[in-house]
Amino acid sequence: MARGGRGSLLDRPEWLGPLMIGPAVLYIVLLVGLPFVLALFYSVSDITMGSRTLNFVGLRNFLSVMETTKFQTSLRNTFVFAVTAQVLVMVLGTILAMALLKDFRGKWLVRLLILLPWVAPISLGTIGWLWILDSTYSVLNWTLEAMGLIGVGERFMWLGVPHLAMGSVVTVHVWRILPLATVILLAGLTSIPQDIHDAAQVDGASFLRHLFQITLPLIRPIMLVAGLFGLVLAFTDMIVIFVLTRGGPYDTTQVLASLAFFTGVQAGDIAEGAAVAMFLFPLLVVVVIVLLRVARRTEVV
């Protein structure tokens, strides 16, 4: 090769590979790895928004945070919110994916409409719900009243009453995650070879038996992927709650993510906010381990 040193450098995989991937890895290490280490570090320090110095305080932040009822409520809410939402997402997503598996006229339009909540900026879609769930002008209340299901002037405070507020934020979160779960599950369903279905048909398996003994077991790995991604989003995301309730009424929809924000940013106590957020870390570790095992079992690794 006439190109000499440079040419051979650009030719040899053992040099070119690291050279091409290096910048991306460096960026990720600097902007994901480093902040993560900082988050660990901050959570055992006494740093605040304004302070220039920083002292090691051990587990003090964790202990003092755990004592507050606000934190205990948030922890419980986080589980209620995330688990309820994700169970609903998986059940509804499976039903919807099966409905979308068949061909029908106008499928592209249905798919586009069903995907909207996932693609539109979440905060903006959620404002649409804020208007739908408005305490005075809610279209839901109007419809219920028009149908005679509630009395004139009677109305539900969708976001103003504890249990109803939790129901509302769960519903909106399901609304937003459902498209993602559906398209992933649909990809899984599509990948099942038709002859497996045909064989079941010939054997005369009933619909439910077909579903629970053939279809669902075959898409189990992909259900796991969809489920885990959704779970991480449900546990760590605060946008829906921030826009709809800001954690209210009386912290009944406060979750760890929103609490971390209010503590760390609005109250300026970075150390305590970081400690609150750190409680989400064990969950993340579990999810990563499970995902790695899925990947290994399907021989990607």
85 binds other proteins (CB under 8 A): no
238 binds other proteins (CB under 8 A): yes
67 binds other proteins (CB under 8 A): no
* Partner residues linked to 282 by β-bridges: none
- Residue 89 belongs to what H/E stretch? helix 69-101
Chain residues 24-43 in contact with other proteins, contact rule CB under 8 A: 24-25, 27-28, 31-32, 35-36, 38-39, 41-42
- Report the residue from 71, 81, 261, 262 that binds other proteins according to the rule CB under 8 A: 261
Chain residues 97-126 in contact with other proteins, contact rule CB under 8 A: 99-100, 102, 104, 110-117, 119-126
> What is the smallest separation between the CB atom of 119 and other proteins, expressed in angstroms?
4
Closest listed residue to residue 215, CA positions, set 105, 49, 115, 95: 95
Closest listed residue to residue 228, CA positions, set 166, 283, 186, 167: 283
149 binds other proteins (CB under 8 A): no
Stretch that binds other proteins, among 68-76, 132-140, 156-164, 208-216 (CB under 8 A): 132-140
| Residues in CB range of 155: below 8 A, 6 or more apart | 135, 136, 138, 141, 145
247 binds other proteins (CB under 8 A): no
287 binds other proteins (CB under 8 A): yes
> What is the smallest separation between the CB atom of 11 and other proteins, expressed in angstroms?
5
Per-residue burial over 259-279, b = 16 or more CB atoms within 10 Å of its CB, e = otherwise? bbbbbbeeeebbbbbbbbbbb
Token duo for residue 257: 């993510």
